[in-house]
Amino acid sequence: MKIYLLIMPLLFSPVLTHGDQLRLRNGDLINGTQSSLDGEVLIWNSSIFGEISIPRDQIVGIQSDSDSSLLANNVRETRTNSNRMQNFFANAARFIDSVTNTTGNVDLSIRTRSGNTEQENYSARSELVWGRSARQHKLDLDYNFESSNSKTVAKETHSLYQFNIALGTRWFANSQVDYTQDDFRRIDQRIRYGLGIGYHLRNNGNTSLSSTIGAHYSDEELVNSDDRQSIGWRMSTELKHDFDDSNLSFFLKHYMHGSFKYTSDLDSDFSVGTRYHLSPQLTTSISWDWTFDKEPASTISRHDRKWKIGVGFVW
Predicted TM-score (pTM) of this structure: 0.64
Beta pairing, strands 282-293 & 266-277: antiparallel
Whether 155 has a pLDDT exceeding 80, the answer reads: no
At the top level of CATH, the class of 2-63 is mainly beta
**Local confidence band at 15 (pLDDT 50, 70, 90 cut-offs):** very low
**Local confidence band at 291 (pLDDT 50, 70, 90 cut-offs):** confident
**Residue extents of the structural domains in the chain:** 2-63, 102-314
**Local confidence band at 7 (pLDDT 50, 70, 90 cut-offs):** very low
What's the chain's average pLDDT? 78
pLDDT score, position 79: 62
Give me the percent of the chain exceeding a pLDDT of 90. 22
The tens digit of pLDDT for each residue in 29-80 reads 888 888 887 767 888 888 777 888 888 878 877 776 555 555 455 555 666 6
Whether 102 has a pLDDT exceeding 50, the answer reads: yes
Q: Considering the domain 102-314, what is its CATH architecture?
A: Beta Barrel (2.40)
> Which region holds residue 131: left if phi is over 0, alpha if psi is between -120 and 50, else beta?
left
